[in-house]
Amino acid sequence: MGKRKRAAASTDPADVIREYMEKEKKRSQRGKKIALLLLAVILVGCGGYWLYDQVIRPANEYAQAESFLQEGKLQEAYDLYSGLNGYQDSTSKMKEIEHQLQSGDLQGAQPGDVITFGSYKQDKGGTTKKEIQWVVLDQEGSRLLLVSRYALNCHPYHSSYTPVTWEDCELRRWLNEDFLNEAFDEEQKKQIVPVDLTNCDNPEFGTDGGEDTQDMVFILDVEEVERYFPTETSREVENTVYAMHQGAYLGSYNSNTSWWLRLPGESGDHTAFISSGGRLNLMGLQVDDGCGGVRPALWIDTEK
């Protein structure tokens, strides 16, 4: 049998170019098929990940959190809910658990204990709220008197240098409006007890303390400080990072701050305070001084 002879390659430039173009077209078509196949694989992979991350994982973690909640494992349930970024009703479940955890701490609290209640900005930039730590000062049945463990902010006693009493000062308005609304949710506000306050005259200078008031949030007066903080050391207090960066006073020899009292100073345009070293200063600072630390105080009812 004779061998089939291979056709001689054309030397015509047009044929050479045409053959080359046909080969490149075939290569291009193969490349497109491969690219489309790879794209399909990628899309399937991404779709599978999205399905897991957005549907399967949250559903599984939510179900596990619900199981923990039914078993009474509140902290474990809270940790799972907090990672769900608002999935279903996870945010409201977190708030419910927060109240349960806080209620348990509050009901067993005794004078001298440190507890948490509410939340307030405490980082440098004021972008992150953290639970407020409170020192329990007194107990009357189900009611507790609390004062913040740290100076939470700095704020003038009043906005201008003029004689003013607690009744009319800017700090009172700020505590009972701005701070109250920012630090506590509606359920926590129901636990805060409005109290009738006696606003005493300055015991050394006789400066008029003004009319008595009723407040949800207040600051301590001299009698309360002497009763609950009998020594200078016990009166020393540090700023939160937020208060420090807001301009709160810092002591020369320590990191403590001064803090306002609900008491006029040597005159109506001054207000008494506790120094960074824990000393009671009845002469006072000018009411418009913006560096005074604020330690909010309040009464709460643990059975509400």
48-93 pLDDT per residue, tens:
666 667 777 888 888 988 887 777 676 788 788 888 888 888 888 8
Segment 108-147, tens digit of pLDDT = 899 999 999 999 999 999 998 999 999 999 999 999 999 9
Secondary structure tally for the chain: helices H, strands E: 10, 12
Lowest mean pLDDT among 27-41, 83-97, 195-209, 261-275: 27-41
pLDDT at 40: 66
Residue 167 DSSP symbol: G
Burial of 82 (0-12, 13-18, 19+ CB in 10 A): middle
Q: What percent helix, strand, coil does the chain show, rounded to 5?
A: 40, 20, 35
Beta bridge partners of 274: 259, 280
Radius of gyration, CA atoms only, the chain:
34
- Two tokens, residue 103: 């209620």
Q: What percent of the chain has pLDDT over 90?
A: 62
Reported confidence tier of residue 281, pLDDT bands at 50, 70, 90? very high
pLDDT at 299: 98
pLDDT at 272: 98
Reported confidence tier of residue 106, pLDDT bands at 50, 70, 90? confident
